[in-house]
């Protein structure tokens, strides 16, 4: 049994929440909860959609393992509340979380740091989506700027599809992103640790049925192939791992995250798509799969992430907190 280095005290596994990814969050949370309990951790489920966060302080929780996905959990809001409560939590802090959930802001920072990401436009109408299509070409990806799990995403191949694609994305977010489609290998890379100690885990290459890695294929089917080792040309995996570490540090991420990357099939140039600061931990999730390839079991992974729980302002006493 892998015991934590020090007793983490009473741990709340935050799961569920109010985002469009609630169903997946509950699946992730239950997995983490059982894994922590199997390692002797005093862990308890806590759903912010059903309980006030102030109860965390009242009930004596010493740490929070965040398995919330999407808004109100992965976007800096819960992180900010936990900062005020003075309860260390897993994953990135307030600023990095709020930036990473916003794909447009993420791409702006990456581009400013000279990191490769597909061309894009932020749009606010179907007409603007059509204009983006004429600029970016076919295919084009249209998606909400602040959602995950491919929710509200459309691959557009004709101008006539733009209106419906915009309408679908706008159902989920007032900010809509039109992104150049990169044809080639799709890979995902997990990072564990913070600062100079952060390190990338083995790449996973994703081969989805009909090339469609959608919500259903991500979580509820067994037809998608996950290849690890990824089988990339010599030296390419190491180059992409280094790129992802730069992307992780560019946003100020800590603890853990997972980054999605496309590799152009012609040039073999890797392009950063997005970063997930509260990765999935379901039976189909990719961080546990990558960790396993590195010799880290699911329970051991959960313990490692939990041990990295901290606060942005850990060295500053917050006054007035009950």
Which residues have a catalytic role annotated?
Answer: 21, 149, 219, 258, 260, 274, 276, 280
Question: Is 26 in contact with 57 (CB distance < 8 Å)?
Answer: no
Residues ≥6 apart with Cβ < 8 Å to 211? none
Distance of CA 321 to the CA centre of its chain: 30
Please give the structure tokens belonging to residue 16.
């569920």
Question: Is 58 in contact with 239 (CB distance < 8 Å)?
Answer: no
What count of other Cβ atoms lies within 10 Å of the Cβ of residue 148? 25
- Termini Cα distance of the chain: 37
What residues are paired with 167 via a beta bridge? none
By CB atoms closer than 10 A (0-12, 13-18, 19+), residue 117 is buried
What count of other Cβ atoms lies within 10 Å of the Cβ of residue 199? 12
Residue with tokens 């606060």: 311
Please give the structure tokens belonging to residue 290.
């990558």
Please give the structure tokens belonging to residue 242.
């280094």
The candidate with the shortest Cα–Cα distance to 302, out of 256, 247, 248, is: 256
């Amino acid at each position: 049994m892998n015991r934590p280095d020090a007793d983490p005290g009473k741990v709340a596994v935050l799961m569920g929440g109010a985002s469009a990814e609630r169903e997946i969050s509950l699946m992730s949370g239950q997995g983490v909860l059982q894994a922590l309990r199997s390692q002797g951790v005093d862990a308890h489920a806590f759903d912010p959609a059903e309980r006030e966060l102030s109860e965390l302080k009242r009930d004596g929780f010493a740490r929070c393992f965040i398995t919330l996905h999407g808004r109100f959990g992965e976007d800096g809001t819960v992180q900010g509340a936990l900062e005020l409560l003075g309860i260390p939590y897993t994953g990135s802090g307030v600023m990095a979380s709020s930036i990473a959930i916003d794909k447009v802001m993420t791409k702006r920072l990456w581009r400013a740091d000279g990191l490769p990401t597909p061309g894009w436009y932020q749009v606010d109408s179907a007409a603007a989506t059509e204009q983006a299509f004429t600029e970016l070409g076919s295919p084009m990806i249209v998606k909400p700027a602040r959602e995950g799990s491919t929710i509200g995403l459309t691959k557009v191949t004709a101008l006539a599809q733009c209106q419906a694609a915009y309408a679908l994305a706008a159902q989920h977010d007032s900010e809509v992103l039109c992104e150049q489609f990169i044809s080639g290998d799709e890979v995902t890379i997990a990072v564990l640790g913070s600062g100079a100690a952060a390190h990338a885990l083995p790449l996973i290459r994703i081969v989805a049925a009909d090339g469609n890695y959608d919500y259903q294929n991500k979580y509820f089917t067994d037809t998608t192939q996950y290849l690890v080792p990824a089988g990339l040309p010599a030296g390419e995996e190491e180059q992409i791992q280094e790129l992802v570490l730069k992307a992780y540090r560019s946003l100020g991420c800590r603890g853990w995250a997972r980054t999605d990357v496309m590799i152009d099939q012609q040039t073999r140039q890797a392009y950063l798509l997005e970063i997930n600061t509260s990765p999935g931990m379901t039976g189909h999730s990719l961080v546990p799969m990558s960790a396993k390839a590195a010799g880290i079991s699911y329970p051991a992974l959960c313990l490692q992430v939990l041990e990295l729980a901290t606060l942005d302002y850990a060295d500053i006493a917050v006054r007035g907190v009950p």
